[in-house]
Structure 1
Amino acid sequence: MSDSKSVNLFHRHGVPSFLEGIYQGRFEWDMISNFVAQDSADEKAGDAAVERLTDILRNRVNPTAVDATRELPEGLLEELRRTGFLNLQDSPDIGGLGLSSYNTFRVVQAAASWSVPVALVLGIQTAVGSGTYLRALPPGELHSYVEQRLLDGIISGSADTEPAGASNSARRTRAVPTDDGEAFLLTGEKIHIGNGPIADIVTVSAMLDEDGQDRPRLFFVETSDPGFSIRSRHEFMGVKGFPNAALVLDGVRVPRERMIVEVDPDTEVRITAELTMAVVRGRLHLITAPSLAISKLCLEWSRNFVNRRTIDGRPLGAREEIQHMVSSTMADVFAIQALAEWSLLPADQPDLGLNVAFEQNVTKAISAEICWRAADRTMDLLAGEGFETAPSKARRGAPALPLERFYRDARNLRISGGVSFLLQFWAARMSQFTYYGPDHAGQSAALSQDGGQQPCTDGLDPLNADHLRFAAAETRRLGAACQKFAADHPAPGLYEHQHRLIAFSRIADEILTMSVVLAKAARLHHEGRTEAQDLAAIYCAHARDRLAALWRQAEPVTAGPDHAAVSDAWLSGDDTYASLITGVITDVPPTADTHPGKR
């Protein structure tokens, strides 16, 4: 493993990774048991930034009005720009706040707890904005250009997704060199572009013919350039008010020096490895921070609702099922918090010598799924009052908890930044199964064995000690199962088994989340805080139930139903299943723009 490129994008030679070990069947508890904590000085800096942003949001943003009008308040972006909140991690020398990765997370979380659309504007700037690229660009003309534009106070975004779908490796947008070779002409269409309607610069992915071979390239495009236009603003089921648009490029001229030159043109990703990791880390700000914020709100709203309700004179909170629901949401909040800390704090503390790139790659999908469980559970708990809008509640004098709005916003988080099941498949293909198969037979055979050693359970009560030993055993089971599956299904045919690969990926995710939850509980125990033991036990008990179901998908005992045959028959128009849609009107109804606004 001396050459990281021979393993995968996230491997760092000589730098240990906890999740990488899980992928290989090794449970390295000693690496995570001393769970990381935020530096006290950095924590104070984060407290101050959160307090300043909270004041701005309370004074300038009515989130209910943003949801109703589909527009951010006038002047808000300028104030966020002036105060540095549009450049959370950029240096103060170029108008930023210079926050650490974890404090950036905390700021976006605070914004999302008030208005998810505002948080997403900040998250786009942090995850895929020009400042992210600047930190990865080498000194030179492009670096100087981006730095100057940041000094100008630009808003930026990334234009990658196209109508044909984001999962395609190639892009239909084309870059054609001008006759003099000094520039490129970009032509194509992009959709679902965050900050698209308000951006001054977008990075555009396009295919470029280089010596007869198409290669994906990235270009910095000024939205004021001739040929650039906004086709329409998107309106989603949730996150209403978040500026998002379909963009058109019609022969936009981009100087050659504004193209990012790839270090490795053969990579599976469309940008350099360093930039890819910056974007992967940025998804924690864009998705995980709102996921944690919404989960925390659901927890508070659950308490608010349960404490004011009785059923036949008996407090609602005294009912067993209600206790299970509330405590499960408490454990889910604890889990996302632990994942965020483990995935970000080591990056802020390089002296720890830990590689958390693998964790950063999967935490987006894990946190979005946990958030959705918490939101859906809270909707069940509040029932009709949850489904009702906050203004409707206010009109009848009920507490105007905005669960309905955040429920819609939470659903977006499982899609934005990559649909969960695709991210899990890519994690299996680009990370987990790079350690198995004929090319890695000797390596995987050695790495998937850790001798069956039991991890030290210091700091855990007996119930959680059992959960820890279970996680270690599941890790060894996973390594052996992946090794056998790869041997039985050699690549490239291996990657046709998407459903089972996703199951293997999700098993690793569950083991990871159990582990960080237990590690944080152990650390808090040593600090004299024992309340986390119960939260960890609740989370791990549910995780074990989910793992049992996932193993049935990953290692089916018998052949399952023929999904392919049934699906193919339906998609081909075969009459066999025509009765499934009889009695309904399948015509697409006419549409009318009931909120034309600024389109």
Structure 2
Amino acid sequence: MNERPLNPWYSDETPSFLEHLYRGELRWDLISRFPRQDPADREAGDRALTAFSDLLRERVDPVEVDATGVLPPELPEALAAGGFDRLQVPPSLGGLGLSALNTFRVVEAAAGWSMPTAQILSVQNTIGVGPFLPALPPGPLRDTVEARTRSGVFSGNGDTEPQGAANHKRFTTATPTEDGAAFLLNGEKVFTGNAPIAAMVNVTATVREGDSERVRLFFVDTDSPGFRVSAHHEFMGLKGFPSGALTFEDVRVPAHMMMVEGEHNRRLTPELYRRLVVGRVHTIGAPSLAFSRLCLEWARDFVNRRQIDERPLGSYDEIQRNVADTLSEVFALETLTQWCLLAEDQVPANPGFEQVAAKNLTSLTAWRVVERTMALYGAEGYETERSKARRGVPPVPLERAFREARGLRISGGVDFMMDIWMAHKAVFWCYYPLPANAEAIEAEPDLSCLDEADLTEANLDHLRFAVTGTKTFARTCLELARRYPDQDELFEQERLLIPLTQIGNELLLMSLVLGRTSSLGTSGPQSTQDLADVYCAQARLRIADAWRRHHAADSPAASRAAGQWLSGERWADLLPDMPGDASPAGK
């Protein structure tokens, strides 16, 4: 099958930098006009952050919450009273009317203090019920959602099912009643954020329409008969976050509480998908930046108070490299955030592709930063904050941040699955059918942007690498599309695809860093040339590694070994020696 897969991020009106990169063209004209937050908007965000920070310090003890796994029961009410459950909702509905970037800043501040609080806010403000208001036409559904939003109730999103989130099918069903006045929902959802505190959840369910089935979105009151929170999830991190499993047993939902959207053949409805893409920038990106900033501060504090045989720790080459890498990656995360949330209005550019890529870029960058900081601290980093406090050293919660950062690589889509999925839906969307710009892809790269960029020689070399690397990437994709006329055959080669997505992501963020740096100039207090140089040098190493993995993807031995193990044919001697069920789980 060579039909072009559906792509909800494409726009024929506004160019996408990442889409053009996939097609072999680095659009310097887009990223050199790098967006910046308007000062008045930033001031509005500062005011909200001041009030929110006061609430956090007064209401939430993050050490106690992590130890007990319980958030203060009055916290949701306090958040609603301050309008923090409606960050982007207009003041006429009791909200704060914040911009997307200021909403990000509030979630980031929450994550730096209490990750479960941040997740309550991000679910509520990005994928809960209220965020759908702008997409709802006048009518009973909009009136109901507007009333719930005005009243300050919390909400959640129920999509993932016990069978697995990657399934195209949704096993929860919605069956119309005989009179057509309602639907009866039956099924289960798991890992539903805010479920235990929600008054309403939006739920995906399969509806049979004639001879076909469609996934539709329903807005369900949690006090409906047959609705039940059947379990509360506990995680390695996120202690106290209200996440639950849901059971639907003939839950009657009025027909007007189904969101009517156009024809589609996706596992998610189009509007829910758009909400999730932007939502992940806040849910994953904001905590990633929060933990990275904290690690930057913790690293400086640790290095400045430590010596080795009376020699300052900060005088060692490896320590300087460690700190510089973290500095540059915090700058890169800031850069990606600003592009994803400001580019559409200011450039203008369509950041949809970049918002999808941001999930892995932010979470994996944060993981590198936290792991690097853990290595810097050694045993003191692995030690809990309570233990550190007992012995009189700064009670830095690095161990807690480590647990939370690992969860970010899972939440919103496991990283390797996101790479595969991006290859299918974004990268090779540009190559099946074969692209009309094949001749341009095979032509020599256009390096004219080097004459326009305000960059140091080192960063001009990085820009040259990005331009030529973009061509190499596109030529490789074109060659693969020609080698595999049937895209399904190519898509079976997952170890071939994963590194390609990673290369595209690295080229994206490398380019954005250079674009922002060029806009800030080569001198003066705002110059970030050194940070860009450090970041791009490391990105080039990661790209080289990804190319090596791409070229070494074919491994018949791996397929044979896995098949023999999974079938029980061989390798039983590699299991633990303890007889019987050695797992202590549930005991």
Q: TM-score, normalised by structure 1?
A: 0.94
Verify: 1:191 aligned to 2:190, yes or no: yes
Is 2:384 aligned against 1:389? yes
Q: Match for 2:43: what amino acid?
A: K
Partner of 1:502: 498
C-alpha separation in 2, matches of 1:458 and 1:189: 54
1:122 alignment partner in structure 2: 121
Q: Which residue is equivalent to 1:363?
A: 358
SS of the residue 2:230 aligns to: strand
The residue aligned with 1:552 is 548
Q: Secondary structure at the match of 2:521?
A: helix
Following the alignment from structure 2 to structure 1, what is the Cα–Cα distance between the partners of residues 358 and 338? 11
Contact 2:293–2:330 under 8 Å retained in 1: yes
Partner of 1:540: 536
Structure 2 Cα separation of the partners of residues 53 and 534 of structure 1: 34
Q: How does 1:276-287 map to 2 (within 5 A)?
A: 276-287=273-284
Match of 2:507 in 1: 511
Distance 1:559 1:232, change over 3 A: closer
Give the deviation of 1:373 after TM superposition. Answer: 0.3
Q: Which residue of 2 aligns with 1:455?
A: 449
Cα RMSD (Å) of the superposition? 1.8
How is 1:405-424 mapped onto 2 (pairs within 5 angstroms)?
405-424=400-419
Distance 1:511 1:246, change over 3 A: same
Say whether the 8 Å CA contact 2:434–2:478 is kept in structure 1: no
Q: Which amino acid aligns with 1:153?
A: G
Cα pair distance change 1:592/1:395, threshold 3 Å: farther
TM-aligned CA distance change 1:527 to 1:7, over 3 Å: farther
Please give the residue correspondences for 1:276-355 in structure 2 after superposition, counting only pairs within 5 Å: 276-347=273-344, 350=345, 352-355=347-350
Match of 2:398 in 1: 403
Secondary structure at the residue paired with 1:203? strand
Deviation at 1:43, TM superposition (A): 1.0
Q: From 580, 587, 593, give the equivalent of 2:581.
A: 587
SS at match of 1:333: helix
Structure 2 unaligned spans of 5+ = none
Q: Secondary structure at the match of 2:424?
A: helix
Match of 1:431 in 2: 426
Stretches of structure 1 lacking an aligned partner (at least 5 in a row): 594-599
For the residues of structure 2 that align with 1:368 and 1:123, how far apart are their CA atoms?
16
Distance 2:121 2:41 in 1: 20
AA of the residue aligned to 1:62: D
In the TM superposition, 1:512-527 aligns within 5 A as 512-525=508-521
Distance 2:25 2:89 in 1: 37
Task: Output the CA distance in 2 between the equivalents of 1:224 and 1:113.
Answer: 34
2:446 maps to a residue whose letter is G
Secondary structure of the residue that 2:86 maps to in structure 1? Answer: coil
Q: Secondary structure at the match of 2:256?
A: helix
- When residues 260 and 453 of structure 1 are mapped into structure 2, their CA distance, relative to the original with a 3 A threshold, is same
Q: Does 1:175 align with 2:171?
A: no
Give, as a single letter, the amino acid of the residue that structure 2 aligns with 1:271: T
Aligned to 2:525: 529
- State the Cα deviation string for residues 100-122 of structure 1 (Å, max 9, x = none): 11111111111111111101111
CA contact (8 A) 1:26 1:449 kept: no
Alignment-derived partner of residue 373 in structure 1: 368
Query: Structure 2 CA distance, aligned partners of 1:421 and 1:591?
Result: 27
CA distance in 1, matches of 2:429, 2:52: 43
Q: Structure 1 residues 159, 275: closer, same or farther in 2, change over 3 A?
A: closer
- The one-letter amino acid paired with 1:42 is D
Structure 2 counterpart of 1:436, one-letter code: Y
CA distance in structure 2 between the aligned counterparts of 1:6 and 1:154, rounded to whole angstroms = 38
Residue 32 of structure 2 corresponds to 33
Gap change, CA 1:363 and 1:121, over 3 Å in 2: same
What is the number of residues matched between the two proteins? 582
In the TM superposition, what is the alpha-carbon distance from 1:562 to its structure 2 partner?
A: 2.6
Matched, 1:564 2:559: yes
Give the equivalent residue in structure 1 for 2:249.
250
Distance 2:142 2:120 in 1: 23
SS of the residue 1:8 aligns to: coil
SS of 1:296's equivalent in the other structure is: helix
Which AA in structure 1 matches 2:106?
A: V
Give the Cα–Cα distance (whole angstroms) in 1 for the partners of residues 302 and 253 of structure 2. 56
Residue in 2 that maps onto 1:466: 461
**What is the rounded CA distance, in whole Å, between the counterparts of 1:488 and 1:584 in structure 2?**
49
SS at match of 1:492: helix
The CA deviation at 1:453 is: 2.8
- Equivalent position of 1:440 in the other structure: 434
* Letter of the 1:534 counterpart: D
Contact 2:445–2:468 (CA under 8 A) maintained in structure 1: no
SS in 1 for 2:458: helix
**Which residue, out of 246, 271, 279, partners 2:269?**
271
For the 8 Å contact 1:425–1:502, the answer to whether it is kept is yes
1:270 aligned partner, one-letter code = L
Task: State the Cα distance separating 1:353 from its structure 2 match.
Answer: 2.3
Q: 3-state SS of the aligned residue for 2:524? A: coil
What is the deviation of 1:422? 1.4
Distance 1:175 1:554, change over 3 A: same
The amino acid that maps onto 2:201 is V
Secondary structure at the aligned position of 2:196 is classed as coil
Question: Where does residue 91 of structure 2 map in the other structure?
Answer: 92
Deviations along 1:510-555, one digit per CA (max 9) or x if unpaired, are 0011011111222222683365111111111111111011112223
- Aligned-partner Cα distance in 2 for 1:346–1:157: 28
What secondary structure is seen at the aligned counterpart in 1 of 2:583?
coil
Q: Distance in 2 between matches of 1:260 and 1:449?
A: 47
Does the C-alpha gap of structure 1 residues 374 and 586 become closer, same or farther in structure 2, counting only changes over 3 Å? farther
- Find the aligned partners of 2:429 and 2:217 in 1 and give their Cα distance: 27
Partner-residue secondary structure (3-state), 1:452: coil
The residue number in structure 2 matching 1:596 is: none
The residue type equivalent to 2:185 in the other structure is L
- SS of residue in 2 equivalent to 1:431: helix
Match of residue 206 from structure 1: 205
Structure 1 residue 448, shift from structure 2 partner:
6.4
CA contact (8 A) 1:435 1:444 kept: no
* Cα 1:449/1:275, change in 2 over 3 Å: farther
User: Shift of the alpha carbon at 1:418?
Assistant: 1.0
Q: Compared with structure 1, are the counterparts of its residues 233 and 361 closer, same or farther at alpha carbon in structure 2 (3 Å cutoff)?
A: same
Structure 1 position 435, deviation (Å): 1.3
**Could you tell me how far 1:135 is from its partner in structure 2?**
1.6
* Structure 1 CA distance for aligned equivalents of residues 565 and 132 of structure 2: 45
* 2:224 is aligned with 1:225: yes
Length-normalised TM-score, structure 2: 0.96
> How far 1:429 sits from its partner (Å)?
1.0
Residue 156 of structure 1 and its aligned partner are, at CA, apart by 0.7
Whole-Å separation in 1 of the counterparts to 2:241 and 2:568:
39
Q: Which amino acid aligns with 2:175?
A: V
CA distance in 2, matches of 1:173, 1:588: 35
Question: Counterparts in 2 of 1:104-143, with a 5 A limit?
Answer: 104-143=103-142
SS state at 1:218 partner: strand
Q: Which moved more, 1:461-470 or 1:257-266?
A: 257-266
Question: Which aligned pairs between 1:21-100 and structure 2 lie closer than 5 A?
Answer: 21-100=20-99
